[in-house]
Every structure is written in structure tokens, then in C-alpha cells.
Chains A and B, each alone.
Chain A
Amino acid sequence: MKKLCAVVLVLMLAAGMVFAAGAREEAAPTIDLQTATWEEIVETAQAQGQVTFYSWYFPDYFREAAADFERQYGIKVNLVIGDQTANFNKVISEKDRPVGTVDAMIVGGQWVKTTMDLDLFYGPIKDIIPDADQLAPSLWIVQEGVLTHGYLAPFHRNQTGILYDPQRVSNPPQTFAELEAWIDANPKLFGFNDPSRGGSGQSFVHTVIKHTTGGLEKYVGDTEVVPEKVANWDLAWEWFNDRKDKLTFTVSNNDSIIRINDGEMAMTFGWDDNVQDMMNRGNIFTRAQMYIPEMGAAGGGDTMGILKNAPNKAAAAVFIAHITSKEQQIKKFEMLGAYPSRIDIPIEGTLLTEEDRENNALAWFPAPYKDYMIAEFVRNVLMTQ
């Protein structure tokens, strides 16, 4: 017995050492991306030979894009489709290591402020990526109220709006007063997610603040919360508390969509790319419709960043250039229906009309207000009886 235990332990330790030794690889060749030409960057990327990219959605598109990239450049893509929170926890846990394990990743509005505050990303990369000028100019500068200073490359643009079941909602509301009336007449059939758990819920609270506290213009340009400007936000919390028994609170963007599909709700706030993806995969009926109401709804987009301690920065830059290329952006749009980040692609057949986007899309107020909004909503609405 003792012999057996000893043999097993020795074998496992030996195997572990072999595996551990195997994991330590030689340092990849590097280059200063800020001064190198694009040809030099591609050459270095090919010498690096691989790139590790993290996302939490669109596994179908990213697999295809990775295969195209490998064919075109001969660079292997280690693609990890993980969980959003886990992805960011991982890169944050590796932040102080000189060399991490992740090269580049998708950045959503939920985490952009935290990652920028922690100075996680290498950059700016706007002057490195070819065709950078063809990507949504505003998304290079600001993502959901957070200044990103050209560190994060636009991946796609997305927009929140009202998602509804046309079999149950014949005349969807356009103005805030119409929405109030609809909620009063159809208790529990309208819902939105807890804003601390997803952007579509944040967008709805943002719209309510706009209409109950006197518009959004006064916040433009602020870098921190001005107490006088949020003094009347109690009106927004009152609006929610007065209708608490008529509203449905959900736990995530997808949960809201699922509850529409299951018939528990008939109308919600959702992201257009999210709804389209769920539709493509049979998680919501194809009769679902979406629009941006006249009362307004916020939009934005997701971006991609290169980690400061990325082992293969050049390969990461080439991969981001590949994803933002016209060919790949068209492919993504055709596969998923997600709105491209490029501005030189004609768009047809999306859930939201161009007219709605032009007339009713709202810009988020600055990030400090968004953080404040989430914290105060939880305190004043979710945690009260």
C-alpha cells in the first residue's frame, strides 16, 4: 500500500513537472507598435506565431474569423469564449504580472470604466490599426460615457430599444407618457433588468432619469458627479417606487429577452445585437420586433483592447485589424445581424431602422453619473419595500 502510494505520488509529481516545464515558453519577439510600420508589425506577429483572444459571446463568428485569420496570416488563434465577469477577473488577476496569458479581449460597457481605471490596456492603438478612420469615430473616443482615448478599437455598435411581442402589443408606446399609461394598463407585462446586471436595464433607468429630472444636457462634459445636478434624482426613484407592483425586474439582458419569449412579459428594454443573436439561436420567437421610442434610448458599442502585459502584442494588433476589416465586418453582419463598427458598410435588414437610430438614439451621460445611477437605483428602488 505504502509502495503504491509512493509510486503514484512520484509519478504525479514527475508528470506535473513535465507539464509545468512545458508551459514555460520562450519569450515572444516584440516590437514597438507605436513606431513600427504595419508591415513590420505583421512580420513580428507572424514570428510570434499565436494570439490569445477572449470574448464571452458570438462563438460562431469568432471561430470563423479565427479560421480566416489563421489561413491569411499563418498565426494560430487561441480563442476563449468565457463568461464576461470571469474574463475580466482573469485579466485583473494577471495585471501585475510582467507577462500575462491574454493578448486581446472584447470590452463591454459594463466593464469599460473599471478596466480604464485599472489601466489594463496598451495604447493608444488608434494610430496603429489600418482603416481606424473607417470605424465609428465616437466609439474610439468614448464608450458608454467612459473616455477611452483611442485605447479600445470599435468591434460593433449596438443600441438599446423597446423589444415587444406584436401579438400582445398592438400599439407600442413612443412617448414617456404613453409608456406610463401602457404600464398602468398592463401591470407586470413591462420589465427591465437590474441595472447593475446589464446595460439594457441601465438604458431604461437612464431614460427615466431624462424624463423625470429635466433632460440629460446638463451632465455633458462632467468628469465627476455634481451633487446639485443629481439633487432631484429622487423624482426618478419615486417614479419607480410608485410603479413597483406594475413593473417586472429581471436579472440580466438575456433574462428579459427570455421572459418575452416565455410570455411572462410582453415588452422590455433590450440590446439590438443581443436580441438578434438570441433570435438566430432559437431563444426568442422571430415575430419579435424592436424600435427606438421617441422618448429615447441609449446606445453604444463593444470594443477590443490589447492587454498591457500581452505576450503577443503585434499578433493582437493584427488580429484586431483583421476583425475590423471590411470583409470581416460584412461577414459578421451577414452571420449575426450585429451592427458593424465600420461606417463604410451599407446596412439593411436590421431590427432597428436607420431613421430610429438617427432621431431617437441617446448618448449616455458621463460614466461617473452612470455608476452613481446604478448604486442609487439599487439603494433607493431595489432595497426598499
Chain B
Amino acid sequence: MRVRAEQQKTPLHVLQERRRRRFYLMLTLFFVIVQLIWVGIPILMAVMWSLVDPKNPWSFPNMFPPSFSFAQWEYVFKYTNIARALRTSYSIAPLAVLLSFVLSLPTDYIMGRKKIPGKKIFMLVVLLPIIMPGMVVALFLSRVFANFGLSQSFFGLVLAHTLMGMPYMIRVLTTSFQSIPQDVIDAAENLGATTFVKIKDIFLPMIRPGLLAGMIFAFIVSIEEFNLTFIIGTPTFETIPTILFSFMGYNFIRTNASVVALIMMTPNIIMLFVVERFLKSDYLAASLGKM
């Protein structure tokens, strides 16, 4: 009786606010649980497997490793070229991102802003390098690279990684160019904007979110690229995936694979957080050059 009386006294908008808060809380909880299951647990498992003590393995029926050690980390750093691979991977990736942006820009603009026949077919063709199995692409391309003297060369590897990153860059930037309102461009032209001013003050700021997304894709693709790197780069160059794959696939060693996966994952996660901060920037503000 008292509760009902209190409810009758509480204004409707306060009750609605409470319900809304409860709903948001449930949504947040759901999100946190899903993230824990899909992201948190695999990372936690990788961390635990990377710390398994070889003398005291993590086995059935133990729910958790009976003891921890850094032996698996020591093994990877002692017996693989991981330090050299890290240097190579993080030298190639930024250059591949830059080159894929520069090389894809004309295509992005034409596909996003101009009406040309066969556009849909072209967009499909652009995706072929990522649709086809990586090893097939690598085997065909290795001959081309060898003929041009690009095998076993750093520039060849940058080109190979650029090739694998470009489909993502083209897809994302084409959509970004498409989404620029024609009114803004027309208004700028009416006010006497030159091509340079349009690029600087309209196109670049408005494609920035797409550009950052494309860069993330191209960067991660480069960091994770295995087949082409292995075929045209080794033995002169080794990247992180060439070491990771030696512990995966046919010869899957869970402990060492976890170490290399964590080494590969950590800089990427940091980069994602950094880029995420840029992406939060206001889209319209960006378009008006107020950033």
C-alpha cells in the first residue's frame, strides 16, 4: 500500500528516467559481458598459456595453470628472430599504409565522386587480392616480383603489403568521398575556392574518419601479412607472422604461439586506442575545418 502510494506521488517523468537508466545499465552490462566473452577471455587465455611453466604444465583436470613462469617468453626471445621481426614489421607497415593511401587516392576520388561505367565490377575486382587465398596470390605474385628484382628486397615487401592493404583503403575511402555533400563543394566553388583549397578544406577533413579507418585496416593487414612476406621476403626478411606461423598450423605449439600473438597484439591495441581518440573528433566540425 505504501509503495503504491509512493509510486502515485512520484512524477511520471522521474519514473521514466529511472526506467531509462535501468535499461541503459542492462545494455551496458550486456555489452561488458559480451566483450569479456569475445575479447577478454581469449586474451586472458593467451596470457595464461604464455606463462605456463614447462616443468609443471597446465593440464586436465586443472582449471588454471598450477604455476607460472616466463620460460615461454624466454624461449621465444632466445630461439627466434622476434626482435628483428618486430623491427621489420613496424618499418614496413607505416610505409605500406602511406603508399596504399597515396596510390589509392585517385581511384578513391574517381569511384566516389564520378559516374563511370562498370564501377561495381571494378569495385569487386579491387577486392580480389583479399578474396583469393593468400598463398595463391603469393605464389603468383612471387614470380612477378622475382622478375622485377623485388624479391628479397625491403621495397618489394613494402609494395607487397601495399597491395594487400589497398583494397581496404579503396573501399573505405571511396565511401568517404561518396558521402561528401555536393552542396558543400558547390558553395565553396561559388565562393571562389581553388582546387587546392577544396582539397585542403573540404575533401581531406571530410574523409579523415574514413582515412583513419582505412589506415587502421591497412596497418593491421600489413602487420598480420604472412604468405607474401614468407614467399618473397624470407630468408632476408622475417616479420612477426612468419614467426607466429612456425608455432601455429601444422606445428601448433600453444604456449609459444600465445607469446608471439601477445607480442603482435599489444602495439596494435595501443594504436587502435590512439586512433579511436582521433575518430571521436566531430565529423561536421572536421568538415568545417574547426579541428
Contact = CB atoms under 8 A, between A and B. Distances in A.
- Do these two chains interact? yes
Contacts of A133: none
A20 B249 contact: no
Given A23-B152, A82-B242, A82-B245, A282 B53 contact: yes
Contact of A283 (B57, B80, B242): B57
Contacts of A78: 235
- Name the interface size band of chain B: 35 or more
Nearest to B200: A1
Interface stretch (A86-94, A118-126, A238-246, A323-331): A86-94
Given A20-B156, A60-B75, A86 B245 contact: yes
A280 B235 CA distance: 27
B143 interface: yes
Given A12-B99, A16-B154, A59-B79, A1 B196 contact: yes
Interface in B8-62: 52-61
A281 B75 CA distance: 9
Nearest to B245: A83
A197 to B, nearest CB: 8
Interface residues of A, number: 58
A329 B248 CA distance: 26
Interface in B235-267: 235-236, 238, 242-243, 245-246, 248-256
Contacts of B150: 16, 20
B146 A286 contact: no
A289 interface: no
B254 A283 contact: yes
Given A12-B95, A97-B146, A90 B231 contact: yes
A262 B139 CA distance: 37
A24 interface: yes
A86 B230 contact: yes
Is chain A's interface secondary structure helix, strand, loop, or mixed overall?
Answer: helix
Nearest to B252: A254
Contact of A282 (B71, B143, B196, B230): B71
B236 A23 contact: yes
Given A90-B230, A282-B53, A23 B151 contact: yes
A212 interface: no
Contact of A9 (B102, B139, B153): B102
Contacts of A60: 75, 78-79
Contact of B251 (A22, A83, A97): A83
A249 interface: no
Contact of B58 (A101, A165, A282): A282
A63 interface: yes
A202 interface: no
A16 B251 contact: no
Interface string A1-27: 100010011001101110110111000
A367 B38 CA distance: 44
B158 interface: yes
A102 interface: yes
A145 B60 CA distance: 37
Nearest to B229: A86
A176 interface: no
B53 A81 contact: no
Contacts of B59: 261-263, 284-285
A83 B54 contact: no
A252 interface: yes
A281 B54 contact: yes
A258 B252 contact: yes
Contacts of A81: 80, 243, 246
B135 A63 contact: no
B250 A84 contact: yes
Contact of B250 (A85, A90, A284): A85
Contacts of A279: 57
A316 to B, nearest CB: 13
Interface of B: 52-61, 71-72, 75, 78-80, 95, 98-99, 102, 135, 138-139, 142-143, 146, 149-156, 158-159, 196, 199-200, 226-227, 230-231, 234-236, 238, 242-243, 245-246, 248-256
State the 3 A-B residue pairs at the shortest beta-carbon distance, nearest first.
A16-B155, A263-B60, A282-B54
Given A90-B231, A261-B57, 9 more contacts: A1-B196, A1-B200, A16-B158, A19-B156, A82-B245, A85-B249, A198-B250, A262-B59, A282-B54
19 contacts: A1-B196, A13-B155, A16-B156, A20-B153, A59-B80, A80-B234, A82-B246, A83-B245, A90-B230, A93-B143, A94-B146, A101-B151, A165-B60, A280-B54, A281-B256, A282-B57, A283-B57, A283-B255, A285-B60
